[in-house]
Amino acid sequence: MGFKAPIEEYRFLFNQIFDLDDLLQTGDFGDADKEDIDFFLETVAKITEETIAPLQRAGDRHPAQLENGVVKTSPGYRKGYKTLTESGLVRISADIKYGGLGLPKLVQNALNEFVNGACISLGLNLLLTQGQIEALELFASEEIKDHVIPKLLSGDWYGTMNITEPQAGSDVGGIQTVARQIDSGEYEITGQKIFISWADADFSQNVCHLVLARLLDSPLGSKGLSLFLVPKYLPNSEGHYKIRNQLQILSLEDKLGLHGSPTAVVSYDRALGKIVGLPNEGLKAMFAMMNSARLGVGSQGVGVAEASLQSAENYALERVQGKSRDGQLLPISEYPDIKRMLAVMRAQVFVARAICSYCAYSLDKAKTTKDQKWVDRAGLLTPIAKYFGSETGVEVSLAGIRIHGGVGYIEETGVSQYFRDSIVTTIYEGTNGIQANDLLLRKLGKNGDTVRTLVDEIIEKISSMKPDGSINASFILEAANKIKEVTNWLMEQSDQSSRLAGAQAYLRSIGLLLGGYFHYLASTHSDANDNKKVMALVYFKRIFPQIHTLCDEVMVGCSDLDTIKFD
């Protein structure tokens, strides 16, 4: 049985948890209603199941290749890309003014998961273009917007992000690529970038690179960076993009996973580009793309986790080992430890999906209400969504291998690909350690007010609900107050190292609290089925208690680490 898009899971989230109908009525999302969006969900689900999912193994077994300076993509990717772009997936949340559909990010997040669950390597291409469009809408000149965005939306062009250099990874202030303005007003870009996802392909007319570089008279460090749009092809005298720009794909990386997605070293030798935004404010513009990509990476992790879970469930139902007491052959799904693993995996996927959806919903509310509360909420949830989505992808896909046993370790079965593909999601667009630092240093608000507001809302909502006999709401309330206590402790620490040593534990504890909140809402809703109630029980008994251990770890600080010496 192949991949099935989790359409019913999103129908439940849209109707019972996040109230998509209210969002559509109160926001500026065009004329679309819930019926239109449901039709869109069904259409994209069918495309991902029938056309995109078969490309998952093709990309892994037949990676992209560099031939004479041109990237040759994996078998079937050209058709898959054409099908995805023609379906309108790139247009989902883009501004109607430029040809977008203007739909909520809540919907875009769901559809992105469908694509990534089917084939994460090809899905990454769409995520990059979606992020570039968002950055251009916010910061580019009207000339660039009017000329470039429609081409990106059509799929004729696609976008990339060029940040990393050999000496400048997480420390972007070390970027050495330079930009020199010429008489035409354009800029010549010179330098080398590494780890550039989808730097080239043989299925699009042009590739638009967003490149961070430093003007010759700009200061050193991150405050001296500007952002430039550098296309693979430049226009000729007739306006047709046929002239090759001075950039070159030097090599493709041989990676652990994501084989269908070409990751390149790119050289710029006085390549022509146009500035996006103001000089020395490139990082601000690039972060618009990165924040979009971070939520997208979270959806990648959820998609891979869902695909791996489906594979593990199908195998466990079919694989017969041993007999019952009455002599009946037993599928391994009947063994307690396998049941436990599958149940925990399903509970984890629900949490990661709900958190990513909540982040997308908060972005929509921030856009429509202009309320600072929702702006802060979206900022707080972005690193949590990226972290939880990607970590869930790794944890669930590893469990999937173990459920398959020996055949899971054999490459021919394709089970290990989910694990290999998912690992990079914890690394790119800012490692998960950086996400935790970002949360702790920039997203908590003054004196931790942003996270306290979130926790107080959870406490208020749970306290107002009718108690459920199977789940004790006091578990959630106790954990929520524990996180408030830990937040107070963090705010009191003058030593930054003491705070950062527990950053990942702190982020994870907030994510687990959100998971408990969403499981409780889902299991107590009148439309909840027995599966939702069982998954909530599993979560509260086997996963949720980790919050207390994590909170204790946060308050250890750095005292035990300070004595460690590495030779």
pLDDT digits (tens, 9 = 90+) for 438-452: 999 999 888 899 999
Confidence of residue 469 (pLDDT cuts 50, 70, 90): low
The pLDDT of 518-539, averaged and rounded, is: 87
Higher pLDDT, 531 or 485: 485
Closest CA to 233 of 191, 187, 271, 194: 271
State yes or no: pLDDT of 122 exceeds 90.
yes
Is 70 exceeded by the pLDDT of residue 19? yes
The closest of 98, 81, 89 to 43, measured between CA atoms, is: 89
Select from 11, 71, 64, 77 the least CA-distant residue to 42: 11
pLDDT at 522 over 90: yes
Question: Is the CB of residue 291 less than 8 Å from the CB of residue 382?
Answer: yes
pLDDT at 556 over 90: yes
Count CB atoms within 10 A of the CB of residue 109.
29
Please give the Cα distance from 350 to 302 (Å, whole number).
9
Handedness of CA 242, 247, 250, 251 (dihedral sign): negative
How many CB atoms are located within 10 Å of the residue 284 CB?
A: 15
| Alpha-carbon torsion angle 399, 403, 405, 408, nearest 10 | -60
**Tell me: the pLDDT tens digits for 423-435?**
999 999 999 999 9
As a whole number of angstroms, the distance between CA 530 and CA 518 comes to 16
Q: Can you read off the two tokens belonging to residue 35?
A: 């019926």
Q: Using alpha carbons only, give the angle 106, 110, 115 rounded to the nearest 5 degrees.
A: 145
Q: Which residues contact 175 (CB under 8 A, 6 or more apart)?
A: 163, 165, 168, 191, 212, 213, 214, 225
Examine the pLDDT at 270 and tell me if it is beyond 90: yes
Q: What is the pLDDT of residue 497?
A: 92
pLDDT of residue 349: 98
- Interatomic CA distance for residues 501 and 429, integer angstroms: 21
pLDDT of residue 353: 98
Who's near 456: CB < 8 A, 6+ residues apart? none
User: What integer best gives the mean pLDDT of the chain?
Assistant: 94
Report the share of the chain in percent with pLDDT over 70.
Answer: 99
Reduce the DSSP state of residue 253 to 3 states and report it.
Answer: coil
- Residues 375-391 have pLDDT tens digits of 999 999 999 999 999 99
User: What pLDDT shows up at residue 393?
Assistant: 98
Q: Read off the pLDDT of residues 308-355 as tens digits, 9 standing for 90 and up.
A: 999 999 999 999 999 888 888 899 999 999 999 999 999 999 999 999
Q: How far is CA 549 from CA 197, 394, 537, in A?
A: 37, 21, 20
The 10s digit of each residue's pLDDT in 142-201 is 999 999 999 999 999 999 999 999 999 889 999 999 999 999 999 999 999 999 999 999
The residues carrying an active-site annotation are 429
- In this predicted structure, the answer to whether residue 90 has a pLDDT above a threshold of 80 is yes
Record the tokens describing residue 71, joined without a space.
Answer: 């990237």
The set of residues, in sequence order, having a beta carbon less than 8 Å from that of 455 and lying 6+ positions away, is 480, 483, 484, 487, 513
Q: What is the distance in angstroms between the CA of the first residue and the CA of the last residue of the chain?
A: 51
Q: Please, which pLDDT band fits residue 1 given cuts at 50, 70 and 90?
A: low
Task: Count other C-beta atoms under 10 Å from residue 334's C-beta.
Answer: 16
pLDDT of residue 93: 93
Distance CA(144)–CA(364), nearest Å, equals 25
- Amino acid 336 reads P
Q: How confident is the model at residue 468 (pLDDT cuts 50, 70, 90)?
A: low
